[in-house]
Amino acid sequence: MNTFTIDHKNSPLTIEQADKHRFKVALPGRTLVLFLKQDNEGANHWFEDGTDNETPETKEIGIAIDNYLAKQ
């Protein structure tokens, strides 16, 4: 597993990459599991595992993860 830190709302978040599309996010007071899906046009969408919609929070964290991974 790859572990890294991103900035989210001026605070560091620890991210554990479980596989290519699944990420465990350590938020204050809870853990969020994000799942990356691409639509038929290739756009990334970030869902909380077990749901089928992207929220503003999952999208914002997902974009930060994308930006981090793009630099690697």
The pLDDT tens digits of the residues spanning 4-39 come to: 999 988 889 999 999 999 999 999 899 999 999 998
Where is 30: in which H helix or E strand?
strand 30-38
Residue 10 burial by Cβ neighbours in a 10 Å radius (0-12, 13-18, 19+): exposed
Instruction: Determine the Cα–Cα distance for residues 5 and 31; give it in Å rounded to an integer.
Output: 14
**SS3 label, residue 59:** helix
0.85 exceeded by the pTM?
A: yes
pLDDT at residue 1 is higher than 80 = no
